[in-house]
Structure 1
C-alpha cells in the first residue's frame, strides 16, 4: 500500500474554509491577541514589582551584597575566594571621619575606600544617579548629594574644592584615633544619590582614593575593613556557618534576609490569579468560537468524510486553521504590547506598589522571555480550546452530519399546550437548546462583570478620608527643619488664623542621653539592631553599655491624654489611672517604638534616668509602648523616643525648640491657605495637611481603579464577543426554522420580540449570577482586604452594578436584533 501525501490539499482546504469564516477569524484573533497582551502585561507588572521591591531593599542596604564580614582574616579571605557559592567579593576600608560640627543637619561623614569590584558590583548598582567618577587620586572625594546640599553646595561642580576638618581612625569604639582633626582640602570628583538607611540617621559615607590612605598613618592593621559577598541563594546558610566562630573584632551581617517583604506574596498571587482568569476567559471565547463554527459547518465536514477524508485529516485541517489564527493573534498581541509596554508596565507597578515602594526604586521588567512565555501560553490556550471542537468534527458520521442541526435539543420534548405566551416560551426554550454554549456565554459575561464589581466594590469601601486618618490624626502638621527656630509668637498667629480651631505643639532635644538602670530597653535595642538596617557605626555611636542616646520630646496636656488613650486601647485601664499632675512633676514619661521595631502596645515596666544639664532625674516609664508615629514620623535612634512633660522640662532648664505644631481646622482650602500665609516668612518648614493627603490618595486610587477596570472591560469584551458570536450562529443556523415560522403566520415583529427575549434572558441570568455569586465573591474579597486595611468599611457598589447590568441588558437586547436584520433575507 502506497502512502498518499494529502498535506497540500488539506492546507489549501483549511485556508479556503478560513476565507469563508472571516467573522470567526476576527473573533479568534482578537481573543488570542488580548490573551497574549494581558498575560504579558500582568507578568511584566508582577515581575517588575518583585524586582522593584528587591531593588528598594538593596538601596536601603546601600549595597547589593548578600553578606558582609568585617575585619576578615587572610585565611577566611582565601577560603571565600575558593568557595564556588561566592559569585563576587568586594573589599572596603573605613579610614576616618569628617568633623560635622559646622553642619548641624549632618550627624557624621565616614570616609571609606573600596576596591573596584566593591564599587562596580556592590555599591554603584545600589545607589541612585551617579555624577562623575570614583576617586582616582589622593585628594579626590565623592559625596552623597544630600550632604552637599546641607553643606550649602546647591550646584556642585566637578573639581570643586571642599575644605573640611578630618581625622584618621576612630571609626568605631574598637579602633583608636590615628591623628588629630585637621583641615584638609578635597577635590570633588563626583556625587551620588543616597537612599540607604544611613540617611535616616543623617549619617553619610564619602568615598576616597587608595592613594589617600596608603601614604598616611592608616594601614591595613589599624583600620576597620569589610568584606562584601554576593552568594548563591542555596549557599548562604552554609557559608555563614562556615565562618563561625568570629573573633571580637568581627561581625557577620546577612543582608539577604533583611527586609524580606511580607507583601511580596500578595501581588504575586494576584498576578497568578489574573493570569488564570484571563486564560480561562480567553479559552472560553476561543472554544466557543470554534465549537459554534464546527457545528455550523458540520454538514460540510460530513460531506468531506463522504468523499473519503479521515478523522485525522479533519483534525489536521482544523489544527491548521488554529495555527494560522494563533500566529496572527500572537503577532497582533505582541505589536500592541510593544506599543504600550513602556507606559502600562511602570504605571501598573506604581499602582500595585502603592506606598510600599518608593518612586526611585521602580524598576520595570521588559524581559523578552516574558513575551515568549506569553506567546506560548496563548498558543497553548488556543490549541487546547480547539481540541474538543476538532474531535466533534472528526467523530460525526456523514449521515448524522446531513441531519445535524446545532439548535436541536436532545431529550424529551415538552407537550403542546394552549396556555401561556408562546413567543416567550419559544425564546426561553431557544436559550437552553444549546446548554453548553449558553453556559460558556454566561461564564464569560459573569467573569467580566464580577471583576468590574469587585474592583469598584473594594475601592468604594476604602474611603480615602478613613485612610487619611490612618496617616494623620491632625488636620495640619507643621514640622520645623534643623535650622528653623519657631518663636512663641507663631503659635498665637496660627491660633488666630482663619479656620484654625486648636493648636498643640511639641519640643525636641536631639542626642539626649538616658541611663537604663533597670535594663528595660535591652531587648528592644537588640531587636532594633537585628532588623538589618542599622549601620554598625550608628549602633556603637548611640549605645554605650546601658546608656543610650535618643530623642527627648516635650508634650502638653492634650498630647498627654492622647498618649494615655492610645495605651488604653491595648490595655485594661483608662486615662483616669494616670495623673497629669504627676506627669507635670517629672515622675512619668512615655516611650514610642521605631517603625522597624513595632513594639506598639508591648508591656514595659521600670525606671530610667534622664541626664539633663548635668543632673540625673529618675522617672517611671509608662507601662506600654506608644506607636512609632506618635507626634513624630517614626524616626528614632537606637533607643525608643522619650516623651516628657514640656512644662517640667522648662522648669529644670531643659527647654527645647518647637519642632512640631499640630492644628485642628475646619478642613477647608481657605484654612490651609491662612496657615501657609502665617508661615511665609519661615524657611525649612514642612507643612503636611490631611486635605492634600486625601487628594494624593484619590489620585493613587484613580490609578488602581483604571487598571482594574481596564482589565475587567477587556474580560467583559471577551464575554460580549462570545455572546455576539453565539447569537450570530444561533440565528444563522435557525434561518430555515425562522423562515418556516414566518411562513405559517408568525410576523417579523413577533420574531424580533422572540429574539429580544432571548437576549434579555442571557442578561437576566447574568444579573442573577452577579447579584448572588458575584456578591459573595465581592464580600469574600473585601474580607481579605480588610485584614490589611482595618479602616475599610464594606459598601455595596450599587451604582457600578446598576451601570454594568444596564449595559449588559442593552447590548444583549440589541445584538440579536442586529443579527436578525442581517440574516432576514433568508427564504425557504
Structure 2
C-alpha cells in the first residue's frame, strides 16, 4: 500500500471503522457539539456586544465615519476630497442651533447635510426626502415632539435661530423625519444648502471657539479602520493640514483597545479551547488504544505511518462534519438567549436593541476554532498510531503504556480492591491527569462564579449609586448633550407636595449651574504650574477623545480670555454631609455661614492634582453683579449620584451652601432633590413618586434604593446565568470525559477482567475495584479543584475585583465541597453500571473475544 494512490481506500477504512464503534462516536460527536456551542455562544454574544457598543458610541459621537476635519472653508474641503488615500468623503455646513424655548431640553443643531453625510450621521430621513427647497427641512422625532409637531410630511412649523449675531424666525415645511437618539449629543435639523449659502456664506477662515456658521465639517473613511490615528497623521502631512482641528471616531476598536476586554476574550477562548481539547483529545487517545490492534494489522499489510495518521484525521473530520453544524446552531440559540440578560447590565444606549447580530464571520470563526480544537486534539493520537510497530500493537495493553520500571525493586502489596483501583489509574497516568483536569475545570469555574457572587456588596453598590433613599431630578438633567439645560430642574410644585407627604425624615437639594470663573493672577500661575505646564500628560484621556490640537486650542482659549468654565454647586446639609473629604475638615455650621467654599481636586491621568489649597481665598463674581470672597474649607469629591453627569476637560467644582448659590442665581430651581423616609412609609412614598413622575409631571424622574437593589439583583442574575451555563457545559464535558474513560477502559480490559474472574475474583470484587477506581478520580479531582480554586481566588480574582467599588473579596471553597458528593455519586454509579453490563457476557465469551 505504501506506493499506491489509495485515498479512496483510506476514506473507506476510516468510515467503516467509525461505523464499527457507533456508541463511542456519539460521545465524540457530543463533545464536538459542546465545544462548538461554547465557541459560537462566545462569538455571538461578544460580536453582538462589540457591534452594539460600537454603534451606540457612534450615535453618541454623531457619526460613523472614521475621522473628520472641523471648521474648513470650501477650498479646504475640495483639497480633502481630492486625496486619493481616502475611500469616501462627505460634508455638512454648519448654520446655527435652534433656539425655540421647547428645545431647551432637546438641543438641535441646524446644518446642511450631503446625503452620504446624513447617512453617516444617522439623520437620513426614514420617511420623506432630503431638503431641496429653501424652506424645507428634515428633523428628528424628538425635536418634532418637543415642538409639538407630528411626524407628518408637509407639516409647517417655525424655528428661531441666530446666525452671526442676527436673529431669525423662519417657517419650515417638514420634508422628512428620522428617529432620534437620546444618547446623541444633539439632535440634527437638516436644512437646504440654498438657505445656508444665503444666511452664512463660507468665510475665508475659521478658528476654534469662534463663529462657525458656514464652515465645512468634513468627514471621511479610510480604506481600513486599522490605526486611524496614524492614517490621519499621514493625511495631514499629505495635504498640509497639521494645524487643523481634527477628530478620530473613537467608536472604532482600532482607536483604543480595551486591554481588560482583550484579556477577558483571550481567557474565555483559552478556557473553551482547553476544555474542548481535553475531552476530544482523550476520546481519540482512548479510541486509538481501543483500536490499536486494528491499526497494527493494517501496518502488517503495508500501511504507512502517514496513511495511518490520515485514517485517524479522516475519522476526526467526519465526526466534526456531524458535530460542528449542530453546535453552531445551538450556540447561536444560546447566545441569543443570554444576550438580553447581559445587555440589561450594560449601557448600550436607548436606541440599541438586544437582538442578536449574526454575521457570517461568527459562524466561520466558531467553526474554525472548533475544527482547530479537533485537529490539535488529533496530533498525539496520530503520532501514537504512526509509531507503533505491528508486533507491539498486537501485544499492547493499556498497562504497557507506562510499564517502565528502571532499576526499581518491585514491592509486594496486600491485594485489596482499593489498591487494585489505584493501580489501574497509575497504569496510564496521562489519561488520569486529563480526566482529573477536565472534571476539575468546571468545579474551579463554579467556585470562581460563587466567589464573585459572595463578594458582591449590595450596601456598597447602593451607597455609590444613591446617597439617599430617594432622588428626584429633571428627566433630561443627566443627558450629556444638555450642559445648559438644568435651569428647569425640580419644580416648586413638586417640592410643595413633597413637604406635605408623611414619613419624610430629611431632605436636601443640589443646585447647579455652569460657571465662568475670571482668573486672578495667582490662579493663572497656579494653573500654569500644576496643570497647563504638563498638559499632554494631564489631559491624555481627553486628547484621545477630541484630539491633541483641539485640546491645545481649548487651553490657549482659556489662557487668552483669562477665565475657565467650571461647575457651581449649591448644597443643603443632607448632601454636604455625603461629601468625601480629601484635605481639610468639613464643618456644616461654619460652611452654612456663607464665608467658606469647598472645591475638588483635578483628576488627571497622572493622579489627583489640587488647583486650590485649603486656606486659599477665592473671589466669585456673578453675572448679576454679586461678588464675594470665600475661604477654601476643604478639598472634596462629590458623590457620583449627586453630580451633574457631564465632565469638562478641566473639571473644577465650586461648592457653596444653597443660600449662597442663590445669591448668584436667584430663583434657580434645584437640579436634584434628595430625601430619606421612614421604613414604614417607603411603599406609600414609592407609589406617590411613581404616580407623580408618570402622570402629573413626566419631565421628572426618580431613583430609589429599591431600584438600585433591583439593578444589583439583575447584575447578580447575569453572573449566575452566564457563569452557571459555562460551568454546566464544562461539567458536562468533564463527566463525558470520565464516562468515556471508564467505558472504554472496561471494554479494552474485558479480557483482563475475564482472566481475573477465571482465577477466583468475584463480580462483587470486580465492581468494588472499578468503583474504587472512580472514587480515586473523585478524590484527585477534589484535591486539584480545592487547591487550584483557592489559589485562583486569592490571586487573580482578588486582584481583578479590587477595582470594583461594590465588591468585597471573601475566600470560599464551599461550592466545591458541596459538589463533591454529587461528583462521587457519578464516579461510583457509572463504573457500577458499566460493570453490570459487561458481566452479562460470560467469562468464556469475553476471553474468546479478545483472542
- Fold shared by both chains (TM-score > 0.5): yes
Q: 1:816 aligns with which of 831, 835, 846?
A: 831
Residues 34/209 of structure 1: CA separation in 2 closer, same or farther (3 Å cut): same
Q: Aligned-pair distance for 1:589?
A: 2.4
Aligned to 1:230: 221
Aligned to 1:391: 383
- Listed one character per residue, the Cα deviations across residues 645-669 of structure 1 (whole Å, up to 9, x for unaligned) are 123345788353233222234667x
Aligned to 1:646: 658
Aligned to 2:116: 117
Residues 603/374 of structure 1: CA separation in 2 closer, same or farther (3 Å cut): same
- Listed one character per residue, the Cα deviations across residues 675-732 of structure 1 (whole Å, up to 9, x for unaligned) are 4426745513212012211212211331232122212221221111111111012222
Aligned to 1:659: 671
**Runs of at least 5 residues in structure 1 that lack an aligned partner in the other structure:** 171-176
How many Å separate the matches in 1 of 2:321 and 2:399?
32
Residues 678/711 of structure 1: CA separation in 2 closer, same or farther (3 Å cut): closer
Q: Aligned-pair distance for 1:130?
A: 4.5
Query: Bigger shift: 469-478 or 219-228?
Result: 219-228
Equivalent position SS for 2:185 = helix
Aligned to 1:174: none
Report 1:213-612 matches (<5 A): 213-214=196-197, 216-221=198-203, 223-231=214-222, 232=224, 233=228, 234-242=230-238, 251-256=245-250, 264-337=258-331, 339-340=333-334, 342-344=336-338, 346-347=339-340, 350=343, 354-355=346-347, 360=352, 365-408=357-400, 410-412=403-405, 414-418=410-414, 422-480=416-474, 482=488, 484-487=490-493, 489-494=496-501, 496-497=502-503, 500-508=504-512, 510=513, 513-517=516-520, 518-519=523-524, 527=539, 532=545, 545-547=561-563, 552-563=568-579, 566-567=580-581, 570-571=582-583, 573-575=584-586, 579-591=587-599, 602-605=610-613, 607-611=618-622
How many Å separate the matches in 1 of 2:104 and 2:361?
51
Residues 811/15 of structure 1: CA separation in 2 closer, same or farther (3 Å cut): same
- Listed one character per residue, the Cα deviations across residues 413-441 of structure 1 (whole Å, up to 9, x for unaligned) are 843345xx711211111122111110111
Aligned to 2:185: 198
1:70 aligns with 2:61: no
Equivalent position SS for 1:331 = helix
Equivalent position SS for 1:113 = strand
Q: Do 2:508 and 2:573's aligned partners in 1 also have CA atoms closer than 8 Å? A: no
Q: Aligned-pair distance for 1:671?
A: 0.4
Equivalent position SS for 1:94 = strand
Q: Aligned-pair distance for 1:43?
A: 2.9
Q: Do 1:594 and 1:634's aligned partners in 2 also have CA atoms closer than 8 Å? A: no
Q: Aligned-pair distance for 1:236?
A: 1.1
Aligned to 2:643: 632
Aligned to 2:207: none
Q: Do 2:56 and 2:348's aligned partners in 1 also have CA atoms closer than 8 Å? A: no
Aligned to 1:187: 174
- Listed one character per residue, the Cα deviations across residues 333-390 of structure 1 (whole Å, up to 9, x for unaligned) are 234345555445x447627x73477662878543323322332332232233223223
Equivalent position SS for 1:184 = strand
Residues 9/395 of structure 1: CA separation in 2 closer, same or farther (3 Å cut): same
How many Å separate the matches in 1 of 2:519 and 2:315?
79
Aligned to 1:173: none
How many Å separate the matches in 1 of 2:710 and 2:251?
36
Q: Do 1:515 and 1:546's aligned partners in 2 also have CA atoms closer than 8 Å? A: yes
Equivalent position SS for 1:746 = coil
Report 1:46-195 matches (<5 A): 46-73=46-73, 76-101=76-101, 103-106=103-106, 109-120=108-119, 122-124=120-122, 130-153=126-149, 155-167=150-162, 169-170=163-164, 177=165, 179-187=166-174, 189-195=176-182
Residues 672/52 of structure 1: CA separation in 2 closer, same or farther (3 Å cut): same
Residues 368/555 of structure 1: CA separation in 2 closer, same or farther (3 Å cut): same
Tell me the TM-score normalized by structure 2.
0.83
Q: Aligned-pair distance for 1:587?
A: 2.5
Residues 664/402 of structure 1: CA separation in 2 closer, same or farther (3 Å cut): same
Q: 2:192 aligns with which of 209, 222, 231?
A: 209
Query: Bigger shift: 808-817 or 36-45?
Result: 36-45
How many Å separate the matches in 1 of 2:361 and 2:662?
66
Q: Aligned-pair distance for 1:68?
A: 3.1
Q: Aligned-pair distance for 1:818?
A: 1.2
The total of aligned residue pairs comes to 790
How many Å separate the matches in 2 of 1:779 and 1:359?
40
Q: Aligned-pair distance for 1:800?
A: 2.4
How many Å separate the matches in 2 of 1:791 and 1:308?
68
How many Å separate the matches in 1 of 2:648 and 2:622?
17
Query: Bigger shift: 15-24 or 139-148?
Result: 139-148
- Listed one character per residue, the Cα deviations across residues 591-615 of structure 1 (whole Å, up to 9, x for unaligned) are 4589999987744245242316332
How many Å separate the matches in 2 of 1:651 and 1:235?
52
Residues 609/375 of structure 1: CA separation in 2 closer, same or farther (3 Å cut): same
How many Å separate the matches in 1 of 2:67 and 2:362?
30
Q: Aligned-pair distance for 1:635?
A: 3.2
- Listed one character per residue, the Cα deviations across residues 269-325 of structure 1 (whole Å, up to 9, x for unaligned) are 212222222222222212211221121222233333334444343333223222211
Tell me the TM-score normalized by structure 1.
0.85
Report 1:644-793 matches (<5 A): 644-649=656-661, 654-665=666-677, 671-677=682-688, 680-681=691-692, 682-683=696-697, 684-793=699-808
Equivalent position SS for 2:620 = strand
Q: 1:805 aligns with which of 813, 820, 844?
A: 820
How many Å separate the matches in 1 of 2:99 and 2:575?
37
Equivalent position SS for 2:154 = coil
How many Å separate the matches in 1 of 2:571 and 2:297?
92
Q: Do 2:689 and 2:702's aligned partners in 1 also have CA atoms closer than 8 Å? A: no
How many Å separate the matches in 1 of 2:809 and 2:625?
56
Residues 288/191 of structure 1: CA separation in 2 closer, same or farther (3 Å cut): closer
Q: CA RMSD in A?
A: 3.7
How many Å separate the matches in 2 of 1:163 and 1:715?
63
Q: 1:613 aligns with which of 611, 621, 624?
A: 624
Q: Aligned-pair distance for 1:64?
A: 2.1
Q: Do 2:128 and 2:177's aligned partners in 1 also have CA atoms closer than 8 Å? A: yes
Residues 753/505 of structure 1: CA separation in 2 closer, same or farther (3 Å cut): same
Residues 633/240 of structure 1: CA separation in 2 closer, same or farther (3 Å cut): same
How many Å separate the matches in 2 of 1:187 and 1:556?
46
How many Å separate the matches in 2 of 1:54 and 1:34?
30
Q: Aligned-pair distance for 1:226?
A: 2.0
Q: Do 2:527 and 2:611's aligned partners in 1 also have CA atoms closer than 8 Å? A: no
Q: Do 2:570 and 2:661's aligned partners in 1 also have CA atoms closer than 8 Å? A: yes
How many Å separate the matches in 2 of 1:764 and 1:667?
51
How many Å separate the matches in 2 of 1:246 and 1:415?
83
Equivalent position SS for 1:360 = coil
Q: Aligned-pair distance for 1:766?
A: 0.4
Residues 726/491 of structure 1: CA separation in 2 closer, same or farther (3 Å cut): same
